[in-house]
Amino acid sequence: MQQTLLFGLTSTLSRIHRSLADLTEEEARRIPLDGLAPIVWQAGHIAFIDAYFARTVDSRSRAPDGYPELFRAGTGGAANYPPLAEVKEVLNGGQRFLEAIVQTVDPATPLESERYGNAGELIVFLCYHRGYHIGKINTLRALLKKPRLFG
Amino acid sequence: MTIKDVLIRHIQDTFEKETWQPPLTLALDGLTAKQAVWKPAPERHSIWQIVKHIIHWKRGVLEAWDGNPPDYKEMERGDWVEASGDDAVWQVDVQALRELTAKIRERVEAADETRLTGPLATYKGLKNQTAVIRLMSVATHDIYHAGQIRYIRALQGV
**Minimal Cα–Cα distance from A34 to chain B, Å?**
9
**Minimal Cα–Cα distance from B142 to chain A, Å?**
9
Residue A110 has pLDDT above 80, yes or no: yes
pLDDT the model gives residue A151: 67
Find the residue in A nearest to B157 (Cα). A35
**Minimal Cα–Cα distance from A107 to chain B, Å?**
7
B145 vs A118, A121, A135: nearest CB: A135
Helices (H), B2-130: 3-15, 24-28, 33-37, 47-65, 72-77, 87-110, 113-117
**Minimal Cα–Cα distance from A72 to chain B, Å?**
12
User: Chain A partners of B152 at a C-beta cutoff of 8 Å?
Assistant: 139
Q: Cβ atoms within 10 A of the Cβ of B18, count? A: 10
What is the architecture, at CATH level 2, of domain B3-156?
A: Up-down Bundle (1.20)
pLDDT the model gives residue A107: 92
Query: Can you tell me the distance from the alpha carbon of A140 to that of A36, in angstroms, rounded to the nearest whole number?
Result: 9
pLDDT the model gives residue A90: 98
- Average pLDDT of A107-124? 90
Residue B26 amino acid letter: L
pLDDT 10s per residue in chain B (158 long)? 788 988 998 899 899 887 778 899 999 999 999 999 999 888 889 999 999 999 999 999 999 999 999 999 999 999 999 999 999 999 999 999 999 999 999 999 999 999 999 999 999 989 899 999 999 999 999 999 999 999 999 999 99
pTM (predicted TM-score): 0.92
Among B38, B143, B149, B152, most A C-beta atoms within 10 A, so best to mutate, is B143
Partner-chain contact A8 B41, CB within 8 Å? no
Contact criterion met (CB below 8 Å) for A138 and B152 = no
pLDDT the model gives residue B17: 85
Model confidence band, residue A101 (pLDDT cutoffs 50, 70, 90): very high
Residues, chain B: 158
Among B4, B6, B19, B156, most A C-beta atoms within 10 A, so best to mutate, is B6
User: Chain B partners of A131 at a C-beta cutoff of 8 Å?
Assistant: 14, 140-141, 143-144, 147
Partner-chain contact B154 A36, CB within 8 Å? yes
Out of 2.60.40.10, 1.20.120.450, 2.40.50.140, 1.20.910.10, the CATH code matching A2-143 is: 1.20.120.450
